[in-house]
Chain A
Amino acid sequence: MVKTYLKKGGSSMTTIKNFFATRWGIIGVGAIIGIFAPLLQKWGNPANMGVCVACFDRDIAGALGLHRAALVQYMRPEIIGFVLGSLIAAYAFKEFKARAGSAPIVRFVLGAFAMIGALVFLGCPWRAVLRLAGGDGNAIFGLLGLIGGIWVGTLFLKGGYNLGRSQKTHTSVGWLLPLIMFGFLILMFIFPQVQGQEKSGVLFYSIKGPGSIHAPLFVSLVVGLLIGFLAQRSRFCTMGAIRDFVLFRQTHLLLGFIALVVVAFIVNLILGQFNPGFSKQPVAHSMSLWNFGGMVLAGLAFALAGGCPGRQLFLSGEGDGDAAVFVLGMIVGAGFAHNFGLASSPDGVGPYGIPAVIIGLLTCLFIGFTMRKEVA
């Protein structure tokens, strides 16, 4: 039984319980994402990529010219919507709280390596289950890697690993990432895509490849805002889903994650988007070991940073300046991933993808083993 006492005015009252934080709330949010992700594919997004935080952050890095991989350049409105939707929810429910100062450089590095690992697999945890729900068997190895990486992360957590405390700070600090995202949206309006042109003003666009395949701007933005709003309320987190089960045998977040994959599978069947197999899957390769290895790195980095890439966006929207640094780390990591030839393609891993995964894992182990001091 949870009672809530409000001290203000000396009266005590029970506040309206946050429905989305209940079991049916998180299942509902997972189901809604499971409906809209395949629909976004029908409305124009790449196959098995209705929503992919890693891929879309990577496309944003391309749109900004931080890498020049011609096939993956688009300012994805879904990502902008995630952050701004969360911001709106946080203000509507008085949960916006500017905070920062919990090992930002570590979060930046974890964000960068999480992105590199995800791009070796070709997807974040969201896309891993969307690929599975679309019939891509290679996703199984990615999901196993994700579970493995998170499991290693829980060993560090049990051993006392922590990132230290954040501090309450000026409201403007919490607004910076939402403002950056808003700025990106404005750039899309000022410099809209021109048919057949690779550049419009300062923004890069793809003429072919996944970056050229996208739902209409407003559709993407509205779905992004909706998911951002609901995910902020429900604390939806794919990494937390697996971590909490491994660490505490708690199934709360896991139910949301399972709802996502089950509903996405059903919607794919209805829409005729289910194509089972391992070879020639869209925006995927079939080098199982590195599908696994890439996601071990990503899973460990997410676990050490305390949230999946989606959750980091939602936290950024509610004022978490440290999560915002993780997001920027991901975008910069995407720049490195393509400039250095670390990212995979449908042909397989990039020329330097394997050493990058190994360096990333060593970096995560260094962080995990050395940040174990008790919190004061």
Chain B
Amino acid sequence: MSKIVDARGLSCPQPVLLALNEMKKMNKGEIAILVDTDTSKENVSRAATTQGWRVEVEKGQEEYRLVLKKD
């Protein structure tokens, strides 16, 4: 069961801040981040990739679920 961070409806830079905080806290493992705009999807993906996390994007009806993984 991965940790879920709900960043839906939050404007810049909150989604990235929340994601980075969680990545720092966990150091490795799996985190799911929920975002609802393409901008947030791109920003969180970019931040996670530079931190060495892999990103998988699942598109839902109203949101994206970004699954961040690091071994």
- Residues of chain A touching chain B, judged by Cβ–Cβ distance below 8 Å, are 1-8, 18, 21, 93, 95, 97, 99, 102, 157, 162-163, 165-168, 235, 237, 240, 243-244, 247-248, 250, 252, 306-307, 322, 375
B71 at the A/B interface (Cβ < 8 Å)?
no
Tell me how many residue pairs across A and B have CB atoms closer than 8 Å: 73
Whether A306 lies near B54 (C-beta < 8 A) is: no
Sample of 20 more A-B contacts, CB < 8 Å, known A95-B38, A99-B9, A237-B12:
A2-B45, A2-B49, A4-B57, A6-B59, A8-B59, A18-B42, A97-B36, A157-B17, A162-B10, A162-B14, A168-B62, A235-B39, A235-B42, A240-B12, A244-B13, A248-B47, A250-B50, A306-B12, A306-B13, A322-B11
Set of chain A residues within 8 Å of B12, measured between Cβ atoms: 237, 240, 306-307
Whether A247 lies near B13 (C-beta < 8 A) is: yes
Identity of the chain A residue whose Cβ is nearest the Cβ of B37 in the assembled complex = A97
Query: Across chains A and B, which 5 residue pairs bring their CB atoms closest together, nearest first?
Result: A165-B9, A306-B11, A166-B9, A4-B57, A21-B42
Q: Which of B13, B20, B47 has the most CB of A within 10 A?
A: B13
Set of chain A residues within 8 Å of B56, measured between Cβ atoms: 3, 5
Q: Size class of B's contact patch? A: 20 to 34
**Shortest distance from the beta carbon of B4 to any chain A beta carbon, whole Å:** 14
B8 at the A/B interface (Cβ < 8 Å)?
yes
Identity of the chain A residue whose Cβ is nearest the Cβ of B62 in the assembled complex = A168
Identity of the chain A residue whose Cβ is nearest the Cβ of B66 in the assembled complex = A2
Whether B57 lies near A167 (C-beta < 8 A) is: no
Name the one of A1, A6, A97, A166 contacting B11, with C-beta atoms under 8 angstroms: A166
**Shortest distance from the beta carbon of A255 to any chain B beta carbon, whole Å:** 12
Set of chain B residues within 8 Å of A21, measured between Cβ atoms: 42
Set of chain A residues within 8 Å of B13, measured between Cβ atoms: 157, 240, 243-244, 247-248, 306
| Given known A2-B49, A248-B47, contact A163–B11 (CB-CB < 8 A) | yes
**Shortest distance from the beta carbon of B27 to any chain A beta carbon, whole Å:** 17
Q: Which of B11, B38, B57 has the most CB of A within 10 A?
A: B11
B3 at the A/B interface (Cβ < 8 Å)?
no
| Given known A1-B54, A5-B58, A6-B59, contact A165–B10 (CB-CB < 8 A) | yes
